[in-house]
């Protein structure tokens, strides 16, 4: 029997941002809720919301224009902005791509919606220069300049929003839960290292400095060239920090950073960044998970980890579209041909152009995204009355062989990641393959991936079944394709977004089906018969299990297995009886308060800044 300090759990729900919008907006679209439009309008800065209202339309007010501050009705919002808000979100035709012809091979992509790539995300997160200067983080205002070459990159902004937004799930400040910041770590993932990966450390879309070289080349390189800058920015915003000039004038500030543990300073552990193509974020979890459980003399394992991932692969100048090529991408020409072939049937629009497992699957769509999710041990969560939203019962990562491992999932052996995750679930937690019901699939939208995605998952389940001595039919898992909801393929972030939807499923909340599915690809008839493939969202399973499986270029594969957190599940582990009893007695209140806290935070302005100010460790402020 595992001890409670040997079991990992998630705390709260993930905070995400993608082409659909923010967390609340995305979940409203999945659930087909009327809240989608007010939440999209909030993302766009058109309205302010009453964050305490359960329905987003209640208490809505105009946020600009002649009627600034006046009540706004859902009917008026629909009449004035409904079509525009829907058109400017999700997978869509992007006119700007044509400006980069002849390099551009498609005009279908999934950039962030509305104005979020043109300053709107900084507004939503509260990380504009004036926001930071007026906050308790004013000493680091130099990292948030408005000057285009020095402002945080879009990738960094996505890291900051998703990671810090995840802290809304905590009932008390992080600095109280983990008094010594060295007990905290940011574990991050990205598929791309930054603009230096393209040999471009100067943003090509920003005004070029005089003479072609900026005055502060180091600052420019830091703010835009490094994929690790975003995770480091998150860690810095939470750490006790002062400007160097202040410390030189006031040495006592440095003294205030000394830890109660002799010889140590009060700083977080170094952020880590995994770069494993599309599987980056699941590989990051597989890398950081053992550190939360590792006992070794002198080693200080983190008490809490903030798992985060972000990619802005369309920048700079949509160059990645040329790299993928028209064969791997969904294009306007392909979409027109599909519609012509199905004349007389409802037209497939750009919004549902990414169609995994469908006869129309003919290419992926590249998108931008960022996410964050808190991970800790069951023991720590029970003792601190944190809302446990899932139990991480297994994880795994694997390479591939077969001569084509540079493609995604085309080689062989990727199923090892899932077999390992299922083996951990079985050997360590007592969950067999029949205890899992949902597959958060990679589902890129290419015909090749449609086959390898389900094929790899099936091979992994079959391998796990053999190891468990299971005979007979395998359980049929519901398949979810979060990219098809409107995210597109967010590269290294995609696995964490899948994990966020798996958490929703095991909470008993709606999770994506395959919304763009109309006709199952006949080539998938045999492998597809082992799964439930449907367009409708699944209602979730509050005593269920979910798996996430992701394949990436270079032969990177990752897998994670989750189970619902229930009193019966906790009984599988050796917990302090009094601690567990107190937690279970308070759990309904803990859950309700967490749900309210997340809704209020994520429907309020300046989310990331508000979370940083609440949760950061302070010095002599």
Domains parsed from the chain with CATH numbers: 7-44+88-615 (3.40.47.10)
Listing DSSP states for 345-408 in one string gives SPPP-GGG---TTBTT---B-BB-EEEEEEEEEHHHHHHTT--EEEEEEEEEEE--BSS-TTSS
CA 299 from chain centre, in angstroms, equals 29
If pLDDT is split at 50, 70 and 90, which confidence band does 113 have? very high
Cα 248 from Cα 243, distance rounded (Å)? 9
**Cβ contact 56:22 at 8 Å:** no
If pLDDT is split at 50, 70 and 90, which confidence band does 192 have? confident
Q: Of the ranges 247-251, 374-378, 567-571, which one carries the lowest mean pLDDT score?
A: 247-251
Cα 445 from Cα 185, distance rounded (Å)? 34
If pLDDT is split at 50, 70 and 90, which confidence band does 356 have? very high
How many residues does this entry show for the chain? 621
pTM, to two decimals: 0.95
Q: Is the dihedral of CA 230, 42, 14, 590 positive or negative?
A: positive
6 vs 66, higher pLDDT? 6
Residue 220: what pLDDT? Answer: 73
Average pLDDT over residues 20-32: 97
Cα angle for residues 403, 285, 565 (degrees, 5° grid): 125
- Residues near 180 by Cβ (< 8 Å), separated by ≥ 6? 259, 260, 261, 264, 266
Average pLDDT over residues 248-264: 82
Residue 566: what pLDDT? Answer: 98
Residue 198: what pLDDT? Answer: 60
User: Which H or E run contains 450?
Assistant: helix 447-468
Task: Determine how many CB atoms are found less than 10 A away from the CB of residue 96.
Answer: 13
Say yes or no to pLDDT of 325 above 60: yes
Cα 315 from Cα 294, distance rounded (Å)? 38
Say yes or no to pLDDT of 196 above 90: no
Residue 151: what pLDDT? Answer: 86
Average pLDDT over residues 385-399: 96
Say yes or no to pLDDT of 208 above 80: no
Residue 170: what pLDDT? Answer: 98
Average pLDDT over residues 131-140: 91
| Mean pLDDT over the full length of the chain | 92
């Amino acid at each position: 029997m595992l001890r409670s300090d040997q079991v990992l759990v998630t705390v709260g729900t993930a905070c995400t941002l993608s082409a659909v919008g923010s967390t609340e907006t995305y979940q409203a679209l999945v659930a087909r809720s009327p809240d989608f439009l007010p939440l999209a309008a909030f993302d766009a800065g058109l309205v302010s919301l009453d964050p305490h209202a359960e329905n987003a339309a209640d208490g809505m007010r105009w946020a600009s224009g002649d009627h600034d501050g006046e009540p706004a009705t859902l009917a008026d919002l629909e009449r004035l902005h409904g079509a525009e808000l829907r058109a400017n979100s999700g997978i869509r035709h992007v006119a700007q791509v044509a400006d980069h012809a002849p390099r551009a091979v498609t005009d279908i992509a999934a950039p962030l919606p509305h104005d979020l790539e043109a300053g709107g995300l900084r507004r939503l997160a509260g990380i504009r220069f004036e926001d930071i200067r007026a906050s308790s983080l004013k000493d680091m205002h130099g990292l948030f300049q408005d000057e285009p070459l020095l402002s945080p990159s879009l990738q960094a902004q996505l890291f900051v929003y998703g990671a810090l937004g995840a802290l809304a799930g905590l009932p008390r400040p992080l600095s109280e839960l983990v008094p010594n910041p060295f007990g905290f770590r940011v574990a991050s993932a990205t598929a791309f290292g930054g603009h230096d990966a393209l040999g471009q450390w100067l943003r090509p879309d920003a005004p070029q400095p005089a003479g072609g070289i900026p005055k502060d080349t180091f600052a420019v390189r830091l703010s835009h060239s490094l994929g690790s800058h975003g995770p480091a920015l998150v860690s810095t915003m939470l750490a006790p920090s002062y400007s160097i000039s202040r410390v030189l004038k006031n040495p006592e500030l440095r003294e205030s950073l000394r830890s109660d543990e002799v010889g140590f300073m009060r700083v977080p552990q170094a952020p880590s960044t995994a770069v494993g193509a599309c599987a980056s974020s699941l590989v990051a979890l597989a890398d950081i998970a053992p550190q939360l459980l590792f006992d070794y003399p002198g080693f200080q394992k983190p008490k809490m980890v903030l798992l985060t991932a972000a990619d802005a692969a369309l920048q700079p100048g949509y160059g990645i579209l040329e790299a993928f090529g028209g064969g791997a991408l969904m294009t306007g020409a392909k979409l027109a041909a599909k519609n012509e072939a199905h004349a007389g049937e409802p037209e497939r629009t750009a919004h549902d152009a990414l169609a995994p497992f469908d006869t129309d699957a003919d290419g992926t769509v590249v998108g931008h995204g960022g996410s964050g999710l808190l991970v800790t041990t069951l023991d720590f969560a029970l003792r601190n009355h944190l809302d446990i939203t899932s139990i991480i019962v297994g994880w795994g990562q694997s390479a591939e062989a077969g001569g084509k491992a540079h493609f995604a999932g085309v080689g062989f052996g990727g199923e090892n990641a899932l077999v390992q995750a299922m083996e951990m679930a079985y050997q360590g937690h007592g969950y067999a393959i029949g205890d899992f019901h949902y597959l958060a699939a990679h589902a890129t939208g290419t015909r090749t991936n449609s086959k390898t995605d389900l094929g790899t998952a099936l091979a992994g389940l079959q391998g796990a079944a053999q190891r468990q001595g299971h005979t007979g039919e395998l359980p049929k898992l519901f398949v979810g394709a979060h990219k098809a909801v409107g995210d597109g393929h967010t590269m290294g972030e995609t696995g964490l977004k899948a994990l966020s939807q798996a958490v929703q499923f095991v909470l008993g909340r709606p999770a994506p089906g395959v919304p763009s599915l109309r006709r199952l690809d006949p080539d998938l008839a045999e492998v597809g018969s082992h799964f439930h493939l449907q367009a409708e969202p699944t209602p979730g399973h509050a005593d269920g299990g979910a798996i996430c499986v992701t394949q990436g270029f270079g032969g990177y594969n990752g897998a994670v297995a989750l189970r619902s957190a229930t009193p019966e599940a906790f009984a599988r582990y050796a917990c302090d009886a009094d601690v567990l009893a107190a937690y279970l007695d308070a759990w309904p209140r803990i859950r309700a308060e967490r749900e309210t806290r997340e809704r209020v935070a994520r429907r309020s302005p300046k989310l990331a800044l508000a979370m940083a100010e609440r949760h950061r460790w302070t010095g002599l402020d």
